[in-house]
Amino acid sequence: MTPAKYPVLMRLLHWLMAITILSIIASGWYMAGLSKDVSYKYDIYPWHKSFGILVLLLVVIRILIRWFSKVPELPKGLPNREKVLARITHYSLYALMILVPLSGLTMSDAGGRDVFFFGIQLPEFMEDNKELAGTLHTIHSYIPYAFLAIIALHMVGALKHRFMDKPENDVLGRML
Ligand code: HEM
Ligand code: HEM
């Protein structure tokens, strides 16, 4: 028998991380767009980095919990193409929860910047390499927005099944 709902820890992590990730995307977009003359621009960076690293830690815990948990199956009545789309979306979200913060972290490290996790300085784990840092900067300037697009698709899917589908195809209730 599969459970009716996701385990409570997975539900908590899902919503905590969703709020955190959306706030980090907004903060990143805002701080990167500020002119260098704005006095508080670089006060935002350490918070962005700390919460970004927190996401990286939490996603590892989340994947481990997922691995060892029983989760509800997708509704039987869903058309196959929607099941496939849901699975691809979920895998992509897990991958991006790793790749987006990792690109930010490696960009900062390769660029020779000190990285602090809520005030604790992290050890350097890469040689300084300006060229690599530049490439990672380009990656980190784009993939968060690809992430946002997939999050939007994911939300539209969840809301569609809730409000525009048969009640037995609702999946939101299992995550609330
Ligand atoms: C879930 C995690 C993260 C998300 C969603 C995220 C998202 C973003 C976004 C949307 C931007 C603005 C991109 C632009 O418009 O140019 C940005 C910039 C930035 N991110 Fe992240 N980020 C994350 C994690 C990290 C981490 C872990 C670090 C470093 C330890 C980091 C370092 C930076 C830096 C330094 C910038 C500014 C780059 C610039 O000034 O051009 N990010 N991030
Ligand atoms: C940053 C934002 C978000 C991320 C990264 C995210 C990520 C995920 C992931 C990876 C799963 C798959 C869980 C699993 O089976 O292991 C999931 C499930 C789910 N998410 Fe999100 N989510 C986000 C925001 C939202 C929002 C805003 C909603 C509501 C509109 C939502 C509704 C759901 C629902 C209903 C499920 C369960 C789907 C099912 O039963 O198969 N998510 N989410």
* pLDDT tens-digit series, residues 151-164: 999 999 999 999 99
pLDDT bin (cut points 50, 70, 90) of residue 173 is: very high
CB distance 155 to ligand 2 below 6 Å: yes
Give mean pLDDT, residues 83-110. Answer: 98
> Residue 104 C-alpha to ligand 1 middle, in angstroms?
5
pLDDT bin (cut points 50, 70, 90) of residue 2 is: confident
> Residue 122 C-alpha to ligand 1 middle, in angstroms?
17
Residue 118 domain boundaries? 8-175
pLDDT tens digits, one per residue of 20-55: 999 999 999 999 999 999 999 999 999 999 999 999
Give mean pLDDT, residues 79-91. Answer: 97
Closest residue by Cα to atom 13, ligand 1, is: 141
104 contacts 97 by C-beta, under 8 angstroms: no
State the Cα–Cα distance between residues 75 and 79, nearest whole angstrom. 9
Q: What integer best gives the mean pLDDT of the chain? A: 97
- Specify if 45 maps to a domain: yes
Position 15 scores a pLDDT of: 98
Give mean pLDDT, residues 64-85. Answer: 96
- Specify if 138 maps to a domain: yes
Q: pLDDT above 70 covers what percent of the chain?
A: 100
- Specify if 29 maps to a domain: yes
Position 1 scores a pLDDT of: 72
Q: How many residues does the chain have?
A: 176
State the Cα–Cα distance between residues 54 and 43, nearest whole angstrom. 18
Closest residue by Cα to atom 37, ligand 1, is: 32
- Specify if 17 maps to a domain: yes
Position 26 scores a pLDDT of: 98
- Specify if 3 maps to a domain: no
Task: List, in order, residues 6 or more apart from 131 with CB less than 8 Å away.
Answer: none
- Specify if 152 maps to a domain: yes
- Specify if 136 maps to a domain: yes
Position 31 scores a pLDDT of: 98
- Specify if 57 maps to a domain: yes
State the Cα–Cα distance between residues 6 and 21, nearest whole angstrom. 20
pLDDT tens digits, one per residue of 125-146: 999 999 999 999 999 999 999 9
Number of compact structural domains in the chain: 1
Position 120 scores a pLDDT of: 97
Position 100 scores a pLDDT of: 98
Pocket of ligand 1 (CB under 6 A): 21, 24-25, 28-29, 32, 45, 48-49, 52-53, 55, 100-101, 104-105, 108, 115, 140-141, 144
Task: List, in order, residues 6 or more apart from 176 with CB less than 8 Å away.
Answer: 11
